[in-house]
Homo-oligomer: A and B are copies of this chain.
Amino acid sequence: MPPETSSPAPAVVRADGRTPQQLRPISITRGWSSQAEGSALIEFGNTRVLCTASFTAGVPRWLKGEGRGWVTAEYAMLPRATNTRSDRESVKGKIGGRTHEISRLIGRSLRSIIDTKALGENTIVLDCDVLQADGGTRTAAITGAYVALVDSIRWAKANKIIDHRAKVLTDSVAAVSVGIIDGIPMLDLPYIEDVRAETDMNVVVTGSGTFVEVQGTAEGAPFDRDELNRLLDLAVSGTAELAQIQRETLGNDD
């Protein structure tokens, strides 16, 4: 009659009431900006990122004449996006390593689902500005930038800058953070969980479920192969859910 064996481990409940496998409430406001060719205000819980896509004819000098387009990204955070104010990078006169690293990650992630030949000699710059930060800003940025990117391509087609039959997008892309906290793998970490995580991983996954980036870091003790596998499982299911939200947001008007 040992109840311990018959009753499963008590369900883990996170500070915000989620189960370990649950995303935070996700909201994508498409077209938040009236100035950009594509834009989205994306929210992962309290994390809010404004993503704009600027579509311009022409490519950087080093790419001229190759018949291919260019997609790049810049990530930044407002000084009071976080709980305490940070100095502006424009005031400091230089961009920090973290900012550089994330900008590069976003750019690579979006280029991975673009056919630059089909884009033609055009450039899309994705600006991801964090208005409010509560963990997972880079993954929200990638997920939201995809929506802005799609809209900017639709704009270019509507304005006959790109042929409307061109298959510029080869897939969709979304990203999520996962981490191990007190030994339990958890999905989509807010700031308070992020700082406690022993291992922290950001995973960028296409709509068809293949990997674009896997970045796992042992914050405390190194992690083993089994932990890695459980985190990847969680990330794949979380990004599948995000891909579904992206599809619903964007509709079928291609």
Contacts and interface: CB of A to CB of B under 8 A. Distances in A.
A193 interface: no
Contacts of A208: 222
Interface string A138-178: 00000000000000000000000000000000010000000
A215 interface: yes
B82 A35 contact: yes
Q: This chain: how many copies in the complex? A: 6
Give the bracket for the number of chain A residues in contact with chain B. 35 or more
B90 A76 contact: yes
A50 B48 CA distance: 13
Nearest to A87: B74
A27 interface: no
Contacts of A33: 80-81, 131-132
Interface of A: 33-36, 39, 46, 50, 52, 54, 56, 74, 76, 78-85, 88-101, 103-104, 108, 112, 125, 127, 129, 131-133, 171, 201, 205-206, 208-218, 221-225, 228, 232
